[in-house]
């Protein structure tokens, strides 16, 4: 396809990996870097030694500390900031976007207090002339940079925008599928991080594979319950942004969210864990949003509930597990529209 000038907002591991992918596909990328010390490293070392070491940045990736420079005259802008910072960042650059610009959310979270997905945040902030989409799926940043065969889903409200994202990202190492269920794709990408923390806690307690499989599978049902209650399509949760990303994040050693849960299960406190992490585990914030959502929607989501109590109410993990096993049993797909 023709070369496209793209902006990437956020130079963490995932933002850097997306930039490398876009550059590999022949596109010019302006990569916005929040941290000025990191910008200096990228310009001097041509490598993101802090968040994604070992991968040289080609000349087609231009790091910048200017949001205006990163988004001006861009046809497509990828948003890869932590969810809790997205509203503030987008409010700063929205005035520089050209008409018809496609904003693609690549972050995975739900805003605390408002309980809005990123797409809903963007809808309330972006100029009406802008288009919106998102990407999600089972993709560790390091493995995308290593060109490991992978698959992802690109969602947008109109199929043409989804196909634009698909064409931009696809190559012989990344298969990109399309969807128009933006809500379902974003809910799946956000809530799987919460389930990954719960799975990590169980693993940290030294429990077996049976337990892990049960949490993953029942966690998927909880994701679908919440998603369907909000209006998402049930089949989305059996796809890449649901089951695919859930399995990866709950079992992969590169998962930051699983690592948080693992260390909690081993007896460490959340404060000590997060203090020693140089990258954001989105699930730590999303646990709060997910818990508030289940309460608001009156949806049964016991794994999400117990994970919240462990992280924020200092509930002992074994007590949480025992309470999980006391939850009333029901039809396997109780509360999931279209599947019961």
The catalytic residues are 192
- The DSSP code for 117 is B
What span, in angstroms and rounded, lies between the C-alpha atoms of 46 and 34? Answer: 16
Q: Provide the pairing of β-strand 61-64 with 76-79.
A: unpaired
User: Given the structure tokens 């948080």, which residue do they identify?
Assistant: 260
What span, in angstroms and rounded, lies between the C-alpha atoms of 17 and 10? Answer: 11
What span, in angstroms and rounded, lies between the C-alpha atoms of 40 and 174? Answer: 30
Cβ–Cβ < 8 Å for 16, 31: yes
Q: How many CA atoms lie within 13 A of 133 on its CB side?
A: 27
Give the pair of three-digit tokens for residue 268: 């460490």
Cβ–Cβ < 8 Å for 52, 80: no
Contacts within 8 Å (CB) and 24+ apart, 141-145:
141/12, 141/13, 141/14, 141/16, 141/17, 141/52, 142/13, 142/17, 142/52, 142/254, 143/254, 144/17, 144/18, 144/20, 144/21, 144/174, 145/16, 145/17, 145/20, 145/21, 145/52, 145/54, 145/55
SS3 298: coil
């Amino acid at each position: 396809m023709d070369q496209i000038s793209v902006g990437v907002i956020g130079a963490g591991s995932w933002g850097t990996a997306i930039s490398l992918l876009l550059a590999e596909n022949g596109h010019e990328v302006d990569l916005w870097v929040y941290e000025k010390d990191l910008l200096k490293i990228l310009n001097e070392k041509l490598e993101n030694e802090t968040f994604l070491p070992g991968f040289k940045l080609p000349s087609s990736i231009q790091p910048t500390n200017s949001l205006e420079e990163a988004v001006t005259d861009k046809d497509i802008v990828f948003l890869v900031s932590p969810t809790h910072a997205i509203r503030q960042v987008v409010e700063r650059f929205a005035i520089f976007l050209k008409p018809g610009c496609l904003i693609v959310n690549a972050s995975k979270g739900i805003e605390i207090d408002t309980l809005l997905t990123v797409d809903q945040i963007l809808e309330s902030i972006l100029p009406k002339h802008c288009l919106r989409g998102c990407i999600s799926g089972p993709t560790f940043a390091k493995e995308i940079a290593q060109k490991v065969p992978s698959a992802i889903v690109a969602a947008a409200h109109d199929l043409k925008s989804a196909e634009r994202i698909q064409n931009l990202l696809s190559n012989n190492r990344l298969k990109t599928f399309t969807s128009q269920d933006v809500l379902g794709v974003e809910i799946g990408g956000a809530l799987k991080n919460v389930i990954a923390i719960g799975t990590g806690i169980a693993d940290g307690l030294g429990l077996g594979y049976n337990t892990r499989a049960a949490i993953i599978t029942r966690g998927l049902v909880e994701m679908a319950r919440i998603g369907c209650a909000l209006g998402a399509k049930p089949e989305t949760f059996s796809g890449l942004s649901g089951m695919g990303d859930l399995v990866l994040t709950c079992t992969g050693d590169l998962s930051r969210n699983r690592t948080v849960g693992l260390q909690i299960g081993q007896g460490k406190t959340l404060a000590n864990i997060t203090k020693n992490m140089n990258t954001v585990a989105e699930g730590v914030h999303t646990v709060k949003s997910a818990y508030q959502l289940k309460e608001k929607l009156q949806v049964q989501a016991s794994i999400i509930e117990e994970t919240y109590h462990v992280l924020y109410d200092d509930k002992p993990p074994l007590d949480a597990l025992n309470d999980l096993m006391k939850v009333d049993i029901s039809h396997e797909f109780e509360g999931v529209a279209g599947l019961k």
